[in-house]
């Protein structure tokens, strides 16, 4: 019995596709978990601001716990993003899928100079 090379190639490609899609699933899950923890941290800090000063130690402990979880999810996002790019996804594709933020253009030096600043003198006459 011989192996049909076309069918074998299709199966290999389908497995590659499943693996690549799994990478995106993992990145999406990590990104969503990070977002939920960011929201929880913000809500916790707002709630803590309303507590009496005597609750300070408990509030600090709770905040530290949320921050530690957030660090873990950020690491998971970074690892998942790296796995996706190592698996063949480009950053542009991840941006298009909404899983990575598009890079923001850096301000040029002239954009950061205040317009009301006095002109600099040219001392190389």
Specify if 115 maps to a domain: no
Dist. CA 97–CA 2, nearest whole Å: 41
Number of DSSP helices (H) and strands (E) in the chain, helices first = 4, 0
Specify if 124 maps to a domain: no
Dist. CA 102–CA 84, nearest whole Å: 16
Counting the structural domains of the chain, the total is 1
pTM of the model: 0.69
Over residues 60-112, the pLDDT tens digits come to 888 899 899 999 999 999 999 999 999 999 999 999 999 988 888 887 665 55
Residue 125 has what pLDDT? 46
Specify if 72 maps to a domain: yes
Specify if 122 maps to a domain: no
Specify if 111 maps to a domain: no
DSSP collapsed to 3 states, 46-103: HHHHHCCHHHHHHHHHHHHHHHHHHHHHHHHHHHHHHHHHHCCCCHHHHHHCCCCCCC
Domain housing 80 = 5-100
């Amino acid at each position: 019995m011989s192996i049909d090379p076309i069918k074998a190639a299709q199966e290999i490609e389908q497995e590659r596709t499943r693996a690549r899609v799994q990478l995106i699933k993992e990145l999406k899950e990590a990104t969503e978990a990070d977002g939920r923890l960011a929201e929880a941290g913000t809500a916790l800090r707002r709630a803590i601001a309303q507590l009496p000063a005597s609750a300070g130690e408990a509030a600090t402990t709770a905040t530290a716990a949320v921050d530690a979880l957030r660090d873990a999810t950020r690491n998971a996002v970074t690892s998942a993003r790296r796995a996706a790019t190592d698996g063949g996804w480009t950053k542009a594709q991840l941006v298009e899928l909404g899983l990575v933020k598009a890079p923001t253009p850096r301000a040029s030096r002239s954009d950061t100079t205040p317009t009301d600043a006095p002109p600099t003198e040219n001392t190389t006459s």
